[in-house]
Chain A
Amino acid sequence: MKRTTRRRLVAVTAALALPLAISACTGTSKGGNSDNPDADVTILFWHGWSADSEVAAIQQTIDAFEKDNPNIHVKAVGNITDDKINQALRAGGSSAPDVVSSFTTNNVGQFCSSGAFVDLNPFMAKSGIDPSTTFTGPQLEYTQYQGNQCTLPLLGDAYGLYYNKDMFAAAGISEPPKTLSEFEADAVKLTKTSGDTYSQLGFMPNYHGYESTTEHYAAQWSPTYFDADGKSTAATDPGLKAMFDWQKGMVDKLGGFDKLEKYRSTFGDEFGAKNPFMTGQVAMAIDGEWRGGMIDADAPDLNYGVAPFPVPDDQADQYGKGYITGTIVGIASTSEKQNAAWRFVQYLTTNTKAVVDFANAIHNVPSTIDALASPDVSQDPNFKAFLDIAANPNSNTTPASPNGGAYLVTLQDLGYDYESGKQPDLQAGLQEAASQIDTDIDQSK
């Protein structure tokens, strides 16, 4: 064999071997559930809470668990973001967490379908827990993917209507609106223009108006998002189409997209003291239960109320429902202490006292049916409204998908184009969105 030929062969072999070497580096270590949960063991728990009061609250829950389970020690690491979670779960290794919680439900489909988190169904069965009688429907939906219950809800969030009672009284409105036509009339009545802007806006309908996103609005129509085969129903679901049309109608009635956008640019930070509802720039807002705590801290004199967000006129009998989401918790498949980890997860998610105490401490909605009905949960009237929304059987959520909620971005993107007039044909936009969602999901498999 000629020298040059031999060299070429070596080079080609090396080039072919390199990808194999690369792929050999990509595996993750596998854990197991053969551990003895009665043995003395330390498990690593990653969570996202970072504020002092929140960290203290989760630590109290951990202390209570350790008191009940003296052989299991929990080492908690806070302020963990989803990016870190994703990297750690992929890397595996001895320093990877056993139990992980995340503030977003977006990645649940990915966590379940990829096997990053273990399916908790066998653990629940072993412990005699019936998920359908323990958790509410929406909470079960956003914590599983195609039957794989790889996470469980660890407190929840509910969305409702915040309204300024003083502004309502000044406009002669006696109670919060229940239907969308009442809502529209009230929003117009509460709006005061000043030159080419507003001195007070009834409601900011634009999708960039903080929590006024497509999925939060759409919950009032209970859309399906996907059919039984996992295909997008964006083009065929009547609720989604109605939601887009309703929002566009609100934009037009309250002054048009450009005028509202200019007013929106005067808003302060959503999570700061200059939130437009707290400063009185808007009279009504769609928001989660956490806003109450922020108002108490930064605008204690604000005279406000909370009610369920209005429903479409033809669904008036479903008044009381809203969008539900929350924090999730799961067990990493790389954990070698899954039985001990399950005892901790079981305590966090199903022990009524633990759930109620933690919910009260951080002003979140409890995540079990029993805890929602518990008399020990905060009975503040404004907070109670969110408990009722969370417990409402018609409340709903957005289902998990295998690509981290990319379908919500696609729908939101259509919303931006439709509200601004860039996409005038809604049906065409919905068909494009459905096709895009299906393509994205196919790509992720």
Chain B
Amino acid sequence: MTTTTTAAAPRRTDPRPVTARTRRRREALRNLAFLSPWLLGTGLFFIYPLVSTLYFSFTHYDGFSPPTFVGLDNWKFVFRDYPFFWPALRNTLWFVLVMVTLRIVFGLAVGVLVVRLKRGAGLFRTIFYAPFLAPPVAGTLAFVFLLNPGTGPVNTILGKLGLPEPGWFNDPAWSKPALTLLALWGVGDLMVIFMAALLDVPKEQYEAAELDGAGAVRRFRHVTLPHLRPVVVFSVITGVIATMQYYTQPIVAGEVASGHIQGSGQQFEPGYPERSTLTLPQLVYNLGFQRFDIGAACVIAMVLFVLSMTFAAILMRRGSGFLEVD
């Protein structure tokens, strides 16, 4: 006979029973601990700069004396009295609309072509990608030299062909298209992203579409593009953000083409020729680090932030985020 002795269950000695609230609190703390690296990074490098930028935009601050609250004065100055703000905003929006769009189209086209190449794909991939690795200043200097209206080889060739010879970086009507050409030359980053996405498109879907009688255009429209949508949305958002920060190429091109290389500490010439290459980040530099009007510079920084967020929000909403559409 087997007897089993059932031991009496030990009594809890913890006077405080684990309530649902305690569990939730512990869970929250654990989650916070896991999240802490991200929270720390975001707090230090995003929230803190953002809040301080907003705060400084309402102050007069030259870096020497403590900031003094001036209400909306900086905002009024930038929007009403600073003559470079509206041209810079127009130019920045132009670059966002034209340059980003063309870079996406061109990057996709190059990606499609290189993926389809049977021979020499590696060579062409390298040729198209290499310019992206060129330092921006060096690339810009090369373009200013190539497109020099007086001595550049491009206009020499155009002249010999009997074609019009644009003023490129010296002509306000052509300076932005010239910068766009420079951006298209460095489209290698997008080409690589699109190539990777293109290689991921299931071949069976192309075969099925072909069996259904779809031509190349319809296959691209109904098979390729839906698969590429998340990559396109990603490229547009990162492109818009990068264009909002567009600084080096326009300032180098403008200064070199104008012949006035500004010395350190000297005021810059605003967007040669005729403010056509002026962008918002140049104004942040001019106001913040040349005039040391840090409050007004922070207003421009806030404008850039709001614009970037607005574009990103619209694109994420319209483009269904980064999710692939079935």
Contacts and interface: CB of A to CB of B under 8 A. Distances in A.
> Does A pair with B?
yes
Interface stretch (A14-22, A61-69, A123-131): A14-22
Nearest to B152: A265
Contacts of A26: 61, 63, 66-67
Given A403-B293, A443-B77, A22 B265 contact: no
A262 interface: yes
Nearest to B262: A104
Given A210-B259, A444-B291, A405 B267 contact: yes
Top 7 A-B residue pairs of the complex, sorted by shortest distance between their CB atoms: A82-B265, A81-B264, A266-B150, A265-B150, A90-B63, A19-B55, A114-B64
A15 B56 CA distance: 14
B67 A23 contact: yes
Interface in A178-233: 197, 208-210
B270 A83 contact: no
Contact of B150 (A262, A404, A443): A262
29 contacts: A18-B48, A18-B55, A22-B55, A23-B67, A48-B264, A81-B264, A81-B265, A83-B289, A86-B63, A86-B289, A86-B292, A89-B64, A90-B64, A110-B292, A115-B65, A208-B259, A210-B259, A262-B150, A263-B150, A266-B148, A266-B150, A403-B291, A405-B267, A409-B267, A409-B269, A409-B270, A436-B83, A440-B291, A443-B74
A180 B77 CA distance: 40
Contacts of B65: 114-115
B12 to A, nearest CB: 28
A114 B149 contact: no
B142 to A, nearest CB: 15
A18 B151 CA distance: 56
Contacts of A440: 81, 291
Interface residues of B, number: 44
A146 interface: no
A85 B291 contact: no
A270 B261 contact: yes
B290 A266 contact: no
Given A86-B63, A405-B266, 4 more contacts: A86-B265, A116-B64, A208-B260, A262-B150
Interface string A393-414: 0000000000111101100110
B88 to A, nearest CB: 14
Nearest to B267: A409
B55 A404 contact: no
B2 interface: no
Contacts of B73: 443
Interface in B12-69: 48, 51-52, 55-56, 61-67
Interface of A: 15, 18-19, 22-23, 26-28, 48, 81-86, 89-90, 102-104, 106-107, 110, 114-116, 197, 208-210, 261-267, 270, 403-406, 408-409, 412-413, 416-417, 420, 422, 436, 439-440, 443-444
Nearest to B49: A22
Contacts, number: 129
A412 B52 CA distance: 34
A403 B62 CA distance: 10
B77 to A, nearest CB: 5
Contacts of B293: 403, 443-444
B224 interface: no
Contacts of B74: 443
Contacts of B266: 82, 104, 106, 405
A347 to B, nearest CB: 25
B296 interface: yes
B320 interface: no
A22 B52 contact: yes
Nearest to B53: A22
Interface in B291-321: 291-293, 296
B66 A27 contact: yes
Given A18-B51, A422-B274, A404 B267 contact: yes
Given A26-B61, A26-B66, A265 B151 contact: yes
B290 A404 contact: yes
A261 to B, nearest CB: 7
A363 B256 CA distance: 27
Contacts of B260: 208, 210
A209 B259 contact: yes
Given A86-B265, A107-B265, A413 B55 contact: no
